[in-house]
């Protein structure tokens, strides 16, 4: 018997009434668009100057040609889906598509675009929400991640992989280029509860708060420290690639807030990055926190809001949460972080 296709998987799960087929149609529209994006990026520089910076406007991170191109492709494709509005990392305000339709989509059309010219994996993230009855404007998107109906991301790497949850576990599909069909290659992913691999941008270390310093210091100390075993570190700069690695072989991803201006909530956007990642990780048996709260419980107050994100193998995430709450290491670590310690306590 052949592998289950994405289309078959989506026609075979239970969700109330018509919503199931509407979510299925929307996921299929996003999946089909991702196939076209994967073809475009596979051409590299032959496809044009995709990595060229075209804007560096205000609150937004710099925008590349490919960010805008993929944003347009997704918006165009979703016009034919039951989607009322699209919120995107690349658009300041939501774009209205079919005002009476029942669903909303939030997307990071190209996650990891700093890696485009380097030919390192990057991807597309999406989150599908029920439409708020009152409006299709920004307010309609300000719902906690626990309200998502479907969430996923596609990684454009040596192969193209689509990771999806509709609340019934996390599934991974692989694109068969000969038929342009996604086939399920990992059913009900169960990620490792323990790990010896962490992912963080250590160049920000001097700006971190104490709990993150303590946690990473213990990882670095490995077998010589309280963890009693060595750790390895990985950081691609493409969250989609880091999260896929963590889903498939365990690990912990940390993008905490830090003390720099504009970084108090870290870099990751809540609605279209952290929420879909967090639900996929939880559905695979992992955990996702801001350090203090479950990510999926955070009620957004603005569309492009950032959030600290610490997610992955649950025993490690629990350890970070215990450090934040002061339950772990009370007293015995204080010399290290005291005023005269190796790391001086933050003011």
Ligand X SMILES: O=P(O)(O)OC[C@H]1O[C@](O)(COP(=O)(O)O)[C@@H](O)[C@@H]1O
Grouping H, G, I as helix, E, B as strand and the rest as coil, residue 5 is strand
From the list 308, 305, 310, the residue with the least C-alpha distance to 142 is: 305
Binding mask 35-74 for Mg ion (x = CB under 5 A): ----------------------------------------
The backbone region for 262, taken as left when phi is positive above 0, alpha when psi lies in -120 to 50, beta otherwise, is left
- Binding partner selected for residue 218 from ligand X, Mg ion, none, CB under the kind-specific 5 to 8 Å limit: none
Question: 204, 326 in Cβ contact below 8 A?
Answer: no
Contact with ligand X (CB under 6 A) among 23, 84, 85, 89: 89
Binding to ligand X in span 11-30, by CB under 6 A: none
Contact with ligand X (CB under 6 A) among 25, 32, 61, 138: 61
Kindly state whether residue 64 participates in binding ligand X, applying the rule CB under 6 A.
Answer: no
> Applying CB under 6 A, which part among 71-79, 110-118, 144-152, 314-322 lies near ligand X?
110-118
Q: Which is nearer to Mg ion, 115 or 289 (CB)?
A: 115
Contact with ligand X (CB under 6 A) among 113, 275, 283, 313: 113
Token pair for residue 53?
A: 């910076």
From the list 322, 246, 302, the residue with the least C-alpha distance to 277 is: 246
Cβ neighbors of 228 (< 8 A, separation 6 or more) are none
Contact with ligand X (CB under 6 A) among 34, 37, 111, 171: 111
Question: 174, 31 in Cβ contact below 8 A?
Answer: no
Rounded least distance, CB 274 to ligand X, Å? 9
- Could you write out the DSSP letters of every residue in 73-108? HHHHHHTTTTEEEEEETT-SSPEES-TT-SEEEEEE
From the list 100, 93, 103, the residue with the least C-alpha distance to 71 is: 93
Kindly state whether residue 146 participates in binding ligand X, applying the rule CB under 6 A.
Answer: no
Kindly state whether residue 111 participates in binding Mg ion, applying the rule CB under 5 A.
Answer: yes
Cβ neighbors of 187 (< 8 A, separation 6 or more) are 4, 169, 171
Binding mask 271-310 for ligand X (x = CB under 6 A): --x-------------------------------------
Dihedral of the alpha carbons of 35, 52, 266, 289, in degrees to the nearest 10: 10
Contact with ligand X (CB under 6 A) among 237, 263, 285, 305: 237
Binding mask 239-278 for ligand X (x = CB under 6 A): x---------------------------xx----x-----
From the list 169, 163, 52, 171, the residue with the least C-alpha distance to 113 is: 52
Binding to Mg ion in span 72-91, by CB under 5 A: 89
- The response to whether 110 counts as a known ligand-binding position is yes
Q: Which is nearer to ligand X, 121 or 171 (CB)?
A: 121
Kindly state whether residue 316 participates in binding ligand X, applying the rule CB under 6 A.
Answer: no
- What are the E-state strand segments in the chain? 53-55, 63-64, 83-88, 95-96, 103-111, 122-130, 150-156, 160-165, 170-176, 181-186, 197-199, 232-233, 252-255, 287-289, 309-312
Q: Which is nearer to ligand X, 136 or 219 (CB)?
A: 219
Q: Which is nearer to Mg ion, 22 or 38 (CB)?
A: 38
Contact with ligand X (CB under 6 A) among 33, 82, 97, 108: 108
Q: Which is nearer to ligand X, 112 or 308 (CB)?
A: 112
- Binding partner selected for residue 117 from ligand X, Mg ion, none, CB under the kind-specific 5 to 8 Å limit: none
* Strand 103-111, strand 95-96: pairing: unpaired
Kindly state whether residue 242 participates in binding Mg ion, applying the rule CB under 5 A.
Answer: no
Kindly state whether residue 39 participates in binding ligand X, applying the rule CB under 6 A.
Answer: no
Cβ neighbors of 98 (< 8 A, separation 6 or more) are 79, 82, 83, 84
Residues at the interface with ligand X (CB under 6 A): 61, 89, 108, 111-114, 201, 237, 239, 267-268, 273
């Amino acid at each position: 018997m052949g592998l289950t296709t994405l289309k078959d998987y989506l026609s075979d799960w239970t969700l109330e009434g018509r919503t199931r087929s509407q979510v299925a149609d929307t996921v299929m529209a996003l999946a089909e668009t991702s196939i076209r994006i994967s073809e475009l990026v596979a051409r590299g520089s032959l496809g044009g100057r995709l990595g060229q910076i075209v804007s560096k406007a205000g609150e937004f991170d710099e925008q590349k040609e490919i960010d805008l191109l993929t944003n347009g492709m997704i918006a165009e494709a979703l016009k034919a889906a039951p989607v009322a509005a699209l919120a995107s990392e690349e658009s300041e305000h939501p774009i209205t598509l079919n005002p009476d339709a029942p669903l909303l989509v939030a997307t990071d059309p190209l996650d990891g675009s700093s890696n485009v010219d380097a030919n390192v994996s990057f991807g597309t993230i999406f989150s599908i929400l029920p439409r708020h009855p009152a409006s299709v404007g920004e307010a309609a998107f300000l719902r906690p991640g626990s309200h998502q109906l479907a969430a996923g991301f596609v990684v454009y790497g040596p192969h193209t992989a689509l990771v999806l949850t509709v609340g019934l576990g996390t599934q991974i599909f692989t694109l068969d280029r000969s038929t342009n069909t996604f086939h399920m290659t990992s059913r009900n992913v169960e990620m490792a509860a323990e790990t010896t691999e962490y992912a963080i941008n250590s160049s920000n270390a001097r700006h971190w708060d104490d709990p993150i310093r303590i946690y990473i210091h213990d990882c670095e100390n490995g077998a010589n420290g309280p963890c009693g075993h060595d750790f390895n570190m990985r950081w691609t700069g493409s969250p989609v690639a880091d999260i896929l690695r963590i889903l498939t072989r365990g690990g912990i991803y940390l993008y905490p807030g830090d003390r720099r201006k504009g970084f108090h909530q870290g870099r990751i956007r809540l609605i279209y990055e952290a929420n879909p990642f967090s639900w996929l990780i939880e559905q695979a048996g992992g955990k996702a926190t801001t350090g203090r709260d479950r990510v999926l419980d955070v009620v957004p107050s603005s569309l492009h809001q950032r959030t600290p994100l610490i997610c992955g193998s649950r025993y490690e995430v629990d350890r970070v949460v215990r450090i934040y709450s002061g339950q772990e290491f009370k007293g015995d670590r204080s010399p290290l972080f005291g005023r005269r310690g190796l790391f001086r306590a933050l003011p």
